[in-house]
Amino acid sequence: MLPADPRYLGAQETAEGVNFSIWAAAAEKVELCLFDEIVKPDGSKSWHERKFELINQDGPIFHGYIPGVRAGQKYGYRIYGPWDPENGWRFNPNKLLIDPYANLLDGEFQYVPQIYGHQALDGNGNGDLAKMDTRDSSPFIPKSVVTKQYEPRSRRINTPWPKTVIYEAHVKGLTAFNLEIPENERGTYTALSHPTVINYLKDLGVTALELLPIAEFITEPAIEKRGRENYWGYNPLIFSAPHRAYASTEDPIEELRQSVSKLHDAGIEVILDVVFNHTAEGGVGGPTYCYRGIDSKTFYRRTHGDIYDDLTGCGNTIDVRRPFVVRMLIDSLRWWAQTIGVDGFRFDLAAALARGAQGIDGISAFSVAVTTDPVLRERKLIAEPWDTKGYALGAFPYPWREWNDNFRDAVRKYWLTSQKDDLREGVGSLATRISGSHDVYYYRGPTSSINFITAHDGFTMHDLVTYEEKHNEANQENNNDGSNNNNSWNVGIEGPTPEPFIEEVRKRLHKSLLASLLLASGVPMILMGDEIGRSQFGNNNAFTLPKGKKISELKGSDSFFGGWALNWQLNNRERELYESTRELLQIRSNFLSDVVKEFFKGESDLMNSRKDLAWFTNLGQEMTQENWEDSSLLTLSYYVEASENQGLLISYNASNSEIFFNLPESKWGNVYRSIFDSAENVSEYLPTILRPLDKTILRPHSVKVFLVSS
């Protein structure tokens, strides 16, 4: 075997063969294993394995060049070293290892004892953790695949943050019920860029499609044992290979590249949710398919010996204090950005990636590597600023943005839990959040806040106003999974009801929540289906589905399916919510997107005596300190200067009663034109023209928006 170029990790195809390189600093010996499929006379198939020892070594990198190998070749590694569990070493050459730099996998993951490095008795890994298993795992795990070299994607849209509207969606769930798409393409990468999908997103006002994880993932063994499978994808096998089950063609990489390109043609950015905080190998008793067999002590954080430091709730935590681990993650991000062409990343449990030796640190090795990389620093970077043992809102440096759970909680509490007298907090917290969370991002600007009320994890917006308790029984964890702190309100009846008054209040609340999100300073993120009232029937942890079932087979089954996918045939109620969302995003685009790039100052302009932001009582007078300290207050109005001659007046009423509101005096404007009311149907709403000091009615649980002209 010829020496390879150790500068490039993974499998690099050249004109005459393939260059193989793998980082394995503590290995004593590395074997490259090539697999060729053999078809027997009876039609059955098996694998022929050819082994090549990588005798060339450049520091921690083992490498070799094999002439004649082409794209499509299946391969893996067997790595030799000490079996010394007490000290954290679990090398086992009987276990075929996936290349962490692979861009494509082939084959199914099977839950059998052979996939474990220790002597396991069953597919869950129960057995003797101290003893090495000598059975071959290669028939039961996917093989890495050599891929061709793809031309890098360089086209970018670069939508400014103030004009960005994010739509969080699941690849399969977004299009599984879209009957305009050929059946074999529904729920795939191809379907993401179908004209109906693009038209839907564009018409709504979305500028960025954020996809739940699309890197190769598997179901956790315990979940598989219960007859369910992981739907969301937050259990990664490796970091740089598209999930093959989402492909409608034999080339998932090119299929995804083409779809991203078409979305770009339509002006829609693509953001990936990446899970770099842990892997599907779980704790020490989990399967061995890659990292544990290459170098368990480097890839995973430990408290000591063989005890993992679990900051993710998934059994392990990737150790970003290690230079090579940081390199691997940066290389992965670059691959997605340059080969696939994506525009940004949302980092799941990003606090686990910002942990140095002394805890969470916004200038950790990983954060610094991303923000100084010439490719990645130009992409949209979004942190989920917590992990299971720490919280770091505001800690991530520019150009990072952060999911702002303070916004989520303040808006939910105002509209929903404030209905209970003992839980009222007044309007101060709400005002801080909808004006951009200055207390958190005072030196970075309001677009550092990714505002959200709902996300994949938790209730949908429909369920927020329909359930006060989680209903996760279908997950088969005795309803013990999922958060118990939902800040939701069922309007007096748990779940669906034929009572028209209850349903009307719920619809109004839903539209008021949307208005609070879409008209606030910061960057709004909409959860797939919230624009039409998608329900998961009270399941606030809908990450699994019945094993082996297609989504189309589950539609309408409350106990198993819920609303895991988007409905494309809208009834009148769903159409009204959609039209309301579109109208609110149009208002944002027309009047707010240019003025929310910086914090409002709240100071009077010398020319017109108006403030760029002002808060009002129901009497049309500016709020006083006494008003702000009144915890019983459930109404709030505020004026935003949109241009020299126009502004918006937005009024909230979270109470159960109609409220008369006096419009402010003439210095704020001479004409008040109502342009949105969450208590009215958009298609039937007739705008009214009012004058300064006129009275207007704010209906219960509603938001009313006025365009104010000088």
> What phi and psi values does residue 430 have, to the nearest 5 degrees?
-60, -45
How far, in Å, CA of 531 to CA of 178, rounded?
A: 16
Q: Is 194 helix (H, G, I), strand (E, B) or coil?
A: coil
Please state the length of the chain: 710
How far, in Å, CA of 29 to CA of 143, rounded?
A: 20
Q: Give the Å distances, CA to CA, from 320 to 260, 287, 294, 317, 352.
A: 29, 21, 16, 9, 8
- The alpha carbon of residue 255 and the mean position of all alpha carbons in its chain are separated, in whole angstroms, by 21
> Radius of gyration (Cα) for the chain, nearest Å?
27
Burial of 606 (0-12, 13-18, 19+ CB in 10 A): exposed
For the chain, give the longest Cα–Cα distance.
Answer: 90
Pairing of strands 401-404, 449-451: parallel
Token output for 338: 């340059």
What is residue 541's DSSP assignment? -
Residue 363's nearest CA partner among 328, 406, 315, 397 is 397
Q: How many CB atoms are located within 10 Å of the residue 310 CB?
A: 20
Q: How many CB atoms are located within 10 Å of the residue 163 CB?
A: 17
How far, in Å, CA of 164 to CA of 157, rounded?
A: 11
Catalytic positions: 348, 384
Beta bridge partners of 47: 37
| Contact partners, residue 420, CB within 8 Å, separation at least 6 | none
Beta bridge partners of 579: none
